[in-house]
Amino acid sequence: MCSAVLSRPFAKALRAAGVDCLCLPRRFKCWGDVAQCAAVWVLLGRYKICRGECAGAPGTEVGGVAFLKGGSGGRCGWVLARECPEPLEVELAPPAKPVIVVDLSLWGEHTPGEKHELVEQVIETLRAVRRFLWDGNFWVANAPGEFVELLNRHARGLVHKMRILEGTPPFENPVVLDPEGPCLFTEDVARSHAEFVIGGIVDKERVAKSATARLAALIGVEKRCRVELRGSRVGVPDRINKIAEIVLRAWAGEPVERAVLAVQAKRDRVYRLMWEIQKRAKRAPDGALEITRAALAEANWLGAPEEEVGLALRKVKARVVG
């Protein structure tokens, strides 16, 4: 699945402006699809499209535009650069919706350590959004001054255009992602809502009981949906940036299950494997847990590598038989 939503519109805008190739800087920072990265950096004003002779090794071709990497190879008359006298203007209008919203209404309940972790997760969420859309599709709502101060400390010099709002923005058709929500987050939910609100909540140092439900009530959003993996929340990532990526993958057309599996960390897979193994294991006469090789293969529908399977078996103290 191609998650880069801006790649083809950007290439189309370049073609309309007479550009059929573009040389990228040697140290061009990219988080995946080069056309998507270039589009985001142009929208941010970090880079401009400039006339200039260059040579580049064959890279990615999108919509009739060749994106060339530094080196020898094809010749090109256009470069992506920080500055130039007369930059080329391209008509690129990214979609206004959907919007990922991280709401910080419960910021004051966090410990100092949790606040720092929350800021780090917001930065990672911005990176996740940029793999699909751009900064304009990411809002941080009910953000106190302390959050802005910590953001500037954690990401000094960060160039961004995400919206940081002091209050609750006017919503069009919102849904809150809540692990305890009464409705299930599905592909239909992903494609039928305009704003996806994720609670800015980190509870590593305390218990935040029903925190997301309280947050939803504070901002006046009734619909709360949970993300599940084959009927259980076990193994579903809980980091804000991971939830945002699951939502965006589903919005872009990927099945929710595949989206969850794609963003799982090792810890998430091991926890889910432990759960799957315990469901299928039986108690031996000596009291030990045993699972057959066939049942273990069935348990590992996640596709975890052998190392993680072995770790899960050790954690639940189960042995393989048959």
Q: What is the pLDDT of residue 1?
A: 47
Query: Cβ distance 42 to 49 under 8 Å?
Result: yes
- Name the CATH architecture for the domain at 99-263: 3-Layer(aba) Sandwich (3.40)
User: 3-class secondary structure for 56-107?
Assistant: EEEEEEECCEEEEEECCCEEEEEEEECCCCCCECCCCCCCCCCEEEEECCCH
User: How do residues 44-53 score in pLDDT, each as one tens digit?
Assistant: 999 999 999 8
CA–CA separation, 144 vs 151, rounded Å? 11
Q: What is the pLDDT of residue 56?
A: 81
Q: What is the pLDDT of residue 245?
A: 98
User: How many Cβ atoms sit within 10 Å of the Cβ of residue 119?
Assistant: 23
Report domain extents, the chain. 6-81, 99-263, 266-320
Reading the chain (322 residues) residue by residue, the pLDDT tens digits are 457 899 999 999 999 999 999 999 988 888 889 999 999 999 999 999 999 988 887 778 999 999 998 666 678 999 999 999 999 999 999 999 999 999 999 999 999 999 999 999 999 999 999 999 999 999 999 999 999 999 999 999 899 999 999 999 999 999 999 999 999 999 999 999 999 999 999 988 777 789 999 999 999 999 999 999 999 999 999 999 999 999 999 999 999 999 999 999 999 999 999 999 999 999 999 988 999 999 999 999 999 999 999 999 999 999 999 8
Q: What is the pLDDT of residue 71?
A: 63
- What are the structure tokens assigned to 264, written together? 């799982």
Residues 6 or more apart from 34 whose CB is under 8 A from it? 24, 28, 59, 60, 67, 69
CA–CA separation, 17 vs 256, rounded Å? 38
CA–CA separation, 198 vs 206, rounded Å? 19
282-283 and 289-292 as β-strands: parallel, antiparallel, unpaired? Answer: antiparallel
Omega before 98 within 30 of 0, i.e. cis: yes
Query: Cβ distance 126 to 150 under 8 Å?
Result: no
Count the residues in the chain. Answer: 322
Q: What is the pLDDT of residue 2?
A: 54
DSSP-derived secondary structure letter, 207: -
Q: Which residue type does 103 have?
A: D
CA–CA separation, 82 vs 39, rounded Å? 14
